[in-house]
Amino acid sequence: MTALAVAGLSLRLGAFTLGDLSFTLAANEILVVLGPNGAGKSVMLETIAGFHRPARGRILIGGRDVTALPPEQRRVGFLVQNFGLFSHLTVAQNVALAAKARRGVEDGHRVPNVTQLLERFGIAHLTDASPLVLSPGEKQRTALARAEASHPDLFLLDEPFSALDTKARDELRTELGRFLREVHASALFVTHDYIDVAALGDRVAVMHDGKIIQLGTIAEVFRRPSNRIAADILGIENLLNGQVETGNGRLLCIVVAGATFHAEIADGTALTGEVCVAVRAEDVRLARSGHGRAATLDNRLAGKVIALQPLGALTKVTLDCGFRLVASLMTRDVAELGLFPGAAAVAVIPVADVHVLAP
């Protein structure tokens, strides 16, 4: 069964246009929408929830056409950045309010046992507490209990971790993922954080300027971005302008600032002229000059270390190869190689990890 179907959805808010969105969400699936600020992620969620009336298109939730229905009749659970709790109500009252609202929409619907919900989410001891005194984790559990109390057909989550520190974000991400899987939720989760995609999603949609520019499994989208804009949004650090020199079967020769890259291309693909070479930093290995042996299908680029940026277990190494090239290495490997600013190094990139895009 399809949990959500969006077909040709468009609207205009001031100068911003949400343009012709079409996608589906399967039952029990979590689709993560990744995009920068201003891409239209929140506007899309708010439109699906019923807060904006689209100029064109249809929205079906659980097979029901809800395009013209008010928010309270759409049966969605909406979690926002601050979790949207009512500060003048206690934890129990926040949860009970959602249950009563659902009963008001559907006459005869049984109100869930609020005490049982609070126990399920581990917040029974906070029954009479105000949201103002809750920790971020307690606020999220309260918001989830409130959403579950309304028995939604679809969960909509609008960057609920964006205002949290790293430790709290990691803890709540794990907890949220566990909850969504336990209740077999169908959910649309918007974010600008790559970690959310891998931790929560079944599929990912890349959003830019009010449009979805790529949608697919996490592996295929992150490994094979559809264009340069998608590659940038997906966090590919090395996007290099180059010129196709020759092509031999499935192997392409590309010159970037005097250096030569070899890349594999799909059958039937014809690329000529200017292109963009995309390489993930984690796919760049380093060796000291004159050391290491290259596999037949490795690109080897001589360079000089210009910066080291320790990031805990990983270190970002920036090279000057006639162009800026970023590698992401284990910190212990950087120490073993004896890398330092000014040191000569060779970047080793497997041909299979070089992706060629339109410029």
Query: pLDDT tens for residues 157-194?
Result: 998 887 778 888 888 888 888 888 988 999 999 999 98
Residues 172 and 277 in one domain: no
Tell me the two tokens of residue 202.
């079944």
- What CATH number does the domain containing 242 carry? 2.40.50.100
Backbone angles phi, psi at 197, to 5 degrees: -60, -55
- Single out the residue of 199, 154, 150 nearest to residue 173, CA to CA: 199
| pLDDT score of 107 | 45
Distance CA(114)–CA(68), nearest Å, equals 31
Residues 156 and 217 in one domain: yes
Share of the chain above pLDDT 90, in %: 63
Q: What is the mean pLDDT of residues 231-250?
A: 88
| pLDDT score of 49 | 94
More confident residue, 325 or 168: 325
| pLDDT score of 102 | 60
The answer to whether the beta carbons of residues 97 and 116 sit under 8 Å apart is no
| pLDDT score of 103 | 52
Distance CA(89)–CA(81), nearest Å, equals 19
User: Is pLDDT above 70 for 247?
Assistant: no
Last residue of a domain, one of 181, 204, 230: 230
Distance CA(281)–CA(296), nearest Å, equals 21
Last residue of a domain, one of 175, 202, 230: 230
Residue carrying structure tokens 């949004």: 233
Residues 160 and 31 in one domain: yes
Distance CA(174)–CA(181), nearest Å, equals 11
| pLDDT score of 331 | 96
- What CATH number does the domain containing 102 carry? 3.40.50.300
Residues 319 and 349 in one domain: yes
- 39-56 pLDDT, tens digit per residue, is 999 999 999 999 999 999
Residues 203 and 295 in one domain: no
Give me the half-sphere count of Cα atoms (radius 13 Å) on the Cβ side of residue 357.
Answer: 22
CA angle 313, 318, 322 (to 5 degrees): 160
Quote the DSSP letter at residue 87. Answer: T
pTM for the model: 0.86
Residues 211 and 280 in one domain: no
Residues 73 and 203 in one domain: yes
| pLDDT score of 191 | 93
Residues 281 and 157 in one domain: no
| pLDDT score of 36 | 93
Q: What is the mean pLDDT of residues 310-315?
A: 94
Which residue segment(s) compose the domain that 186 sits in?
2-230
Residues 156 and 273 in one domain: no
User: Is pLDDT above 90 for 10?
Assistant: yes
When divided into structural domains, the chain yields a total of: 2
Residues 38 and 168 in one domain: yes
Last residue of a domain, one of 175, 209, 230: 230
Tell me the two tokens of residue 180.
């969504």
The answer to whether the beta carbons of residues 331 and 313 sit under 8 Å apart is yes
User: Is pLDDT above 90 for 267?
Assistant: no
Residues 271 and 225 in one domain: no
Q: How buried is 83 (Cβ within 10 angstroms: 0-12 exposed, 13-18 middle, 19+ buried)?
A: buried
Residues 44 and 182 in one domain: yes
More confident residue, 314 or 105: 314
